[in-house]
Amino acid sequence: NAMFAWQRTAFHFQPEKNWMNDPDGPLYYMGWYHLFYQYNPDSAVWGNITWGHAVSKDLIHWLYLPLAMVPDRWFDAGGVWTGSATLLPDGRIVILYTGDTDESIQVQNLAYPANLSDPLLIEWVKYPDNPVIVPPAGINPEEFRDPTTAWMGPDGTWRILVGSKVDGSGIALIYQTSNFTAFEAQPGLLHAVNGTGMWECVDFYPVSTNSSNGLETSVVGPGVKHVLKASLDDLKKDYYAIGTYDPVSDTWTPDDPEADVGMGLQVDYGRYYASKTFFDQNTGRRILWGWINETDTDYDDLAKGWASVQTIPRVVTFDNKTGSNILEWPVEEVESLRLNSTEFDDILVEAGSAVLLDIGMATQLDISVEFEIEGSDALEALEEPEAIIECATAQNRTTLGPFGLLVLADKSLSELTPIYFHIAKSTNGSLTTLFCADETRSSKALEVFKKVYGGPVAVLDDEKFTMRLLVDHSIIESFAQGGRTVITSRIYPTEAIYGAAKLFLFNNATGVNVTASLEIWQMNSAFIRPFPLEEM
Ligand code: DQQ
């Protein structure tokens, strides 16, 4: 539909048409990265859920393959819902996914490739004796879903998690298996958090505390912490915490109980949900996918004929400078799309001003920027505490912020998405930095949900204020301080499109000037198209 053509992304993964949601079963096999995804082949709204399938050599250029699994059995007649892949040491691949049965019961099913010598893994077989796990007593059969990738315990048996809820607490149930057909429920839970509601798309994986290498999912031992992530159904937000996994008791304990799953850190503070990682044995990285949901109406999605996009895959590492969060960073392969770059050094942005950056087209960009506050004693000079505890609009001016970039802005600044830092001194004298994306003026379209997104970001004493932004027509992925805090924006500009889209620096602080140094690349489009199967 030409009316919405500018919203189509140029280098993010999205199907040719119709609805997509969660990423499913990501894996690397025989030279190809595989992405499956929740997909409605018939419409641009959720329903009739199948597993779409695409492959890539580099996580950036994608080829669509035939649907991997469709809801054609009693044990998944209501939809082939979310699941995960496990690569077994003997070379086999297993997928566990949630089937919504013909009676709307959520069960866990097993599937495997028909032909392991096919690198494209085109054909999938559903185990005839599915389901392999049914809802246990005491669990609502409509709240029992999204099996994780399996990991092997010290006793040689595999474990998986399934998310659910009991009395308002989000929970991760744990199952053991040696063959992926017979599963035994474990008496305890891996973890539960009061008041967090249904946990969807639980993810559980080790991170190395002393290197930036990704870890295979079964790794435990010294120098390893475990990340537990849950997608909170009530909030539609992905929360995680870092903690310690005890492989003998099969329990996990958060490092900071006050910042437990659902209470502290978000994987992404923007429009982002149902994320899932996988270990890429090809390069030794742990890679994170996430679903960017729409914020327009179903009516508009039907009119434009498609809905939703996946993020650029991100590498996940442990932040050993703070010791208390993960870092997320776009896979380096995205840099192969970089075309010519423009550099700006030490641009002064005075309090209360905006500076146009003359870069030509501004709809497909990779932006790297460093800000410094002019006058090193400015932070100490701030006397009055300004207790800002959450992101406010970019028009909310205080002494030390906000300052940042105006993205996908038209030249009169009638449409714009500010991405910014805002520093505040709290009543105890300490400085807090927020990283925010203000989408309230991102579109003149009326029926779009618009708000300010963001959260706190640690800026250490020896660090400048740094951001990396990937801009792709209607998506902005923003990474602060090397990926400590991340915000994905799904926006619908009506004027700041094609050649009318501009990029500005801005500083709305009342008390300080800032200087900015930037490198900005124009980004090529990626090839994302059907696999030429008939030519094989
Ligand atoms: N989406 C799937 C479920 C999952 C939810 C259904 C999360 O399996 O819990 O499409 O977005």
User: What's the rounded Cα separation, in Å, for the pair 501 and 429?
Assistant: 40
Phi and psi angles of residue 221, each rounded to the nearest 5 degrees, phi first: 125, -170
Q: According to the model, what pLDDT value does residue 497 have?
A: 95
Q: According to the model, what pLDDT value does residue 387 have?
A: 63
- 332, 360, 392 — which closes off a domain? 332
Q: Is 271 in the pocket of ligand 1 (CB under 6 A)?
A: no
Q: How far is the CA of 141 from the centre of ligand 1 (A)?
A: 14
Which atom in ligand 1 lies closest to the alpha carbon of residue 291? Answer: 11
Q: Is 232 in the pocket of ligand 1 (CB under 6 A)?
A: no
Do 238 and 214 fall into the same domain? yes
The answer to the question of residue 10 being in a domain is no
Q: Is 68 in the pocket of ligand 1 (CB under 6 A)?
A: no
Mutation pick for ligand 1 pocket among 46, 80, 200 (CB with most ligand atoms within 8 Å) = 200
Q: How many domains does the chain have?
A: 2
Which atom in ligand 1 lies closest to the alpha carbon of residue 146? Answer: 8
Q: According to the model, what pLDDT value does residue 424 have?
A: 83
3-class DSSP state of 471: strand
Instruction: State the catalytic residue, choosing from 22, 76, 146, 472.
Output: 22
Mutation pick for ligand 1 pocket among 165, 199, 201, 272 (CB with most ligand atoms within 8 Å) = 201
- Containing domain of residue 138, as a range? 17-332
CB 506 within 8 A of CB 394: yes
The answer to the question of residue 231 being in a domain is yes
Q: How far is the CA of 489 from the centre of ligand 1 (A)?
A: 21
Q: Is 237 in the pocket of ligand 1 (CB under 6 A)?
A: no
Indicate if 22 belongs to the active site: yes
Q: Which tens digit of pLDDT belongs to each residue from 33-53? A: 999 999 999 999 999 999 999
Q: Is 21 in the pocket of ligand 1 (CB under 6 A)?
A: yes
The answer to the question of residue 196 being in a domain is yes
Do 326 and 347 fall into the same domain? no
Q: Which tens digit of pLDDT belongs to each residue from 151-161? A: 999 999 999 99
Q: According to the model, what pLDDT value does residue 194 have?
A: 98
Q: Residue 113 gets which letter from DSSP?
A: E
- 306, 332, 358 — which closes off a domain? 332
Buried-exposed string 187-216: b where 16+ CB fall within 10 A, e elsewhere:
eebbbbbeebbbbbbbbbbbbbeeeeebbb
Averaged over 295-305, what is the pLDDT? 95
pLDDT for 429 beyond 80? no
Do 263 and 356 fall into the same domain? no
- 332, 360, 381 — which closes off a domain? 332
User: What's the rounded Cα separation, in Å, for the pair 49 and 82?
Assistant: 10
Do 114 and 182 fall into the same domain? yes
Do 302 and 428 fall into the same domain? no
The answer to the question of residue 360 being in a domain is yes
Specify the CATH number for the domain of residue 420: 2.60.120.560
The answer to the question of residue 535 being in a domain is no
Edge-to-edge strands, sheet with 50-56: 306-307, 18-29, 32-40, 50-56, 62-69, 528-530
What DSSP element (H or E) covers 227?
strand 224-232
User: What's the rounded Cα separation, in Å, for the pair 376 and 385?
Assistant: 19
Do 412 and 302 fall into the same domain? no
Q: Is 470 in the pocket of ligand 1 (CB under 6 A)?
A: no
Do 350 and 493 fall into the same domain? yes
Q: How far is the CA of 164 from the centre of ligand 1 (A)?
A: 12
Q: Is 200 in the pocket of ligand 1 (CB under 6 A)?
A: yes
pLDDT for 97 beyond 60? yes
Do 282 and 383 fall into the same domain? no
Do 344 and 243 fall into the same domain? no
Mutation pick for ligand 1 pocket among 46, 145, 229, 231 (CB with most ligand atoms within 8 Å) = 145
Do 297 and 361 fall into the same domain? no
**Residue recorded with tokens 């246990």:** 136
Q: According to the model, what pLDDT value does residue 380 have?
A: 64
Do 158 and 56 fall into the same domain? yes
Which atom in ligand 1 lies closest to the alpha carbon of residue 81? Answer: 8
The answer to the question of residue 260 being in a domain is yes
**DSSP per-residue letters across 360-426:** S--SEEEEEEEEEESSTTHHHH--S-----S---TT--BTTB-EEEEEEE-TTSSS-EEEEEEEEE-
The answer to the question of residue 414 being in a domain is yes
Q: How far is the CA of 82 from the centre of ligand 1 (A)?
A: 6
The answer to the question of residue 531 being in a domain is no
Q: Which tens digit of pLDDT belongs to each residue from 331-370? A: 999 999 999 999 999 999 999 999 999 999 999 999 999 9
Do 358 and 394 fall into the same domain? yes
Atom 9 (ligand 1) nearest CA: 200
Atom 10 (ligand 1) nearest CA: 81
Q: Which two tokens stand for residue 97?
A: 């996914």
Specify the CATH number for the domain of residue 209: 2.115.10.20
Q: Which two tokens stand for residue 192?
A: 């539960």
Cβ count near 299 (within 10 Å): 11
